[in-house]
Amino acid sequence: MLSLGRLHLITDTRPGCDPLAVTRAALSVAGPDLVVQVRVADSASDRETYDLAVRVMDLCAEAGATCLVNDRLHVALAVGAAGGHVGDSDLPVAAARRVLGPTAVLGVTARTPATAAEAVSAGASYLGVGPCYATTTKDGLPAPIGPAGIRDVTGAVAVPVIAIGGVTPARVPELLAAGAYGVAVVGAVSTAADPARATAALVGALSC
């Protein structure tokens, strides 16, 4: 099976956020076990995305961590990231696999066993599954699927399932019990008073 970190930190570029400071803090605790996914607002330009991705890549390289880029696979290739993540509005999975090549990490969003199995057949390396719980970080999402929804998907595929949406350290045990391999977070680290401490809490919960 793919060797993948269990904690995925997704960059928060909303006004008032400092994605590089948060990434630095998280890497100082989780080091090589962290996966950092560069995610920007849809309104961000490719140049802005590239500039952030270069800097996140540098931080990840220094720490031996993995960097992925959300949506914009050309940016992933341009900065030499380990791979990318796509969902329903992005390139189809098979096309994304062709763009990234056979060995890159390709994450795909899935919410049901059927779409999860389809994504894996088309070349997904791991699945981002959710929203597990209510989130204020992304609008327009379907209703939360909870640990039961995670269990439905983990029962249908053999690739790592990364639970996303409203994840906190306290919720990690029930997600792991549902078969999740790891979790992806934005707010739990980015909006924490102490992002390093928040990362440590997530790392601790994932190691139980």
Distance of closest approach, residue 171 Cβ to ligand LCLJCK34, in angstroms: 15
**Identified binder of ligand TZP from the candidate list 19, 84, 165, 195, rule CB under 6 A:** 165
Q: Look up residue 25 and give its amino acid.
A: A
Q: Look up residue 193 and give its amino acid.
A: A
* 179 in a known ligand binding site: no
Residue 190, token pair as written in the block = 């980015």
Span interacting with ligand TZP, options 14-22, 43-51, 150-158, 185-193, rule CB under 6 A: 185-193
φ, ψ for residue 37, nearest 5 deg:
-105, 120
The yes or no reply on residue 131 touching ligand TZP (CB under 6 A) is yes
Contact between 208 and 183 under an 8 Å Cβ cutoff? The reply is no
Q: Which is nearer to Mg ion, 57 or 69 (CB)?
A: 69
Contact between 100 and 77 under an 8 Å Cβ cutoff? The reply is yes
Q: Look up residue 64 and give its amino acid.
A: G
* 103 in a known ligand binding site: no
The yes or no reply on residue 79 touching ligand TZP (CB under 6 A) is no
Those residues whose C-beta lies under 8 Å from the C-beta of residue 52, and which sit 6 or more positions away, are 11, 13, 19, 20, 38, 40
Question: Taking CB within 5 to 8 Å according to partner kind, which of ligand TZP, ligand LCLJCK34, Mg ion, none is near residue 137?
Answer: ligand TZP
* 168 in a known ligand binding site: no
Cis peptide before 195 (omega within 30 of 0): no
| Interface of this chain with ligand LCLJCK34, residues 17 to 76, rule: CB under 6 A | 37, 39, 70-71
Span interacting with ligand TZP, options 22-30, 98-106, 110-118, 186-194, rule CB under 6 A: 186-194
Which of 83, 85, 89, 80 shows the shortest CA–CA distance to 61? 80
The yes or no reply on residue 138 touching ligand TZP (CB under 6 A) is yes
Alpha carbon distance 109, 10 (integer Å): 14
* 182 in a known ligand binding site: no
Q: Which is nearer to ligand LCLJCK34, 128 or 149 (CB)?
A: 128
Query: Which residues of this protein are in contact with Mg ion, per CB under 5 A?
Result: 71, 87, 90
